């Protein structure tokens, strides 16, 4: 699944190869991917415009234009962005043009495509981003503590809430929590300030590693998220469960759900 590092690669691809090119035509005929727009509405807004900037917050991307309308793009569960044959997005999917869901054609003959086998990606005009929390790669340690370190929700649910922190998906959450040696089931407000800080730094390290190595799937614990898997650090069996409706894996020894030293009763993290 594309997560923040994969989406950032897709944004960077658009920035490197698609900006400044005039749009000659748009295929927005897939009414599910382009909902709520009827066929032709996105095309009418974008044809003749040039893309001027490619931006991202969390897993949401958008492209600004010189005529005003903003094109929002989301990769969904397995989508890719393809520009003139170069692609970025889900690193595991090998997709042909059969799965092209939304296409921008440029006057010079090139194309920008949202390619998505599962049809869960989105192309939309003027996306709403105000409800998203700060980007996970840019949030400060202080703001992270203020947003994450309180409440009774399981910690994994808290950090995956896009209104709290934008960009943390299922694999990234498991990787960061494993690196921090914190249970995904622990109530967010039960963590001590040092534990919340440790999670913040683990998340930043996981993001940096994923961006350097080609995606979240390259994380240290990801290959152990399977039946019979063992913790790469201590060798204890990995445990599987469901947290917040998402399949979750954790080390049975180092991430056991227990009151850690320095933890406190549920409440707001001090800053």
Q: Dihedral of CA 110/116/119/122: which sign?
A: negative
Q: Alpha-carbon distance 36 to 26, whole Å?
A: 16
Which structure tokens are listed for 193? 């300030």
Please count the CA atoms within 13 angstroms of the CA of 90 that sit on its side-chain side: 19
List, as one string, the DSSP characters of 184-225.
TTSBGGGS-HHHHHHHHHHHHHHHHHHHHHTSGGGSTTGGG-
Q: Alpha-carbon distance 168 to 135, whole Å?
A: 9
Burial class (CB within 10 angstroms; exposed 0-12, middle 13-18, buried 19+) of 108 = exposed
CA-based end-to-end distance of the chain = 34
Alpha helices in 18-64 (DSSP H): 41-46
Instruction: List the catalytic residues.
Output: 2-3, 59, 246
Q: Where are the beta strands (DSSP E) in the chain?
A: 23-27, 51-57, 60-65, 71-74, 80-83, 86-89, 100-106, 111-115, 122-125, 238-243, 246-251
């Amino acid at each position: 699944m594309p997560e923040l590092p994969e989406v950032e690669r897709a944004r960077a691809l658009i920035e490197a190869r698609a900006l400044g090119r005039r749009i000659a035509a748009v295929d927005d005929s897939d009414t599910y991917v382009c909902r709520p727009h009827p066929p032709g509405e996105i095309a009418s807004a974008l044809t003749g415009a040039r893309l001027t900037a490619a931006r991202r917050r969390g897993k949401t991307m958008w492209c600004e234009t010189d005529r005003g309308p903003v094109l929002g793009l989301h990769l969904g569960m397995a989508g890719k962005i393809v520009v003139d044959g170069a692609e970025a997005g889900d690193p595991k999917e090998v997709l042909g043009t059969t799965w092209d869901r939304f296409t921008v054609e440029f006057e010079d003959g090139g194309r920008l495509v949202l390619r998505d086998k599962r049809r869960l990606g989105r192309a939309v005009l003027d996306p709403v981003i105000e409800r998203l929390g700060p980007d996970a790669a840019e949030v400060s340690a202080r703001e992270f503590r203020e947003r994450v370190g309180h409440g009774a929700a399981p910690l994994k649910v808290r950090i995956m809430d896009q209104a709290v922190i934008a960009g943390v998906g299922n694999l990234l959450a498991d990787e960061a929590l494993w690196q921090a040696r914190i249970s995904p089931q622990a109530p967010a407000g039960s963590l001590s300030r040092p534990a919340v800080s440790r999670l913040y730094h683990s998340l930043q390290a996981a993001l940096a590693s994923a961006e350097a190595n080609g995606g979240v799937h390259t994380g240290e614990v990801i290959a152990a998220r399977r039946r019979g898997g063992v913790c790469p650090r201590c060798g204890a069996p990995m445990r599987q469960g469901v947290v917040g409706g998402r399949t979750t894996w954790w080390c049975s020894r180092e991430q056991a759900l227990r009151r850690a030293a320095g933890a406190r009763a549920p409440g707001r993290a001090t800053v």
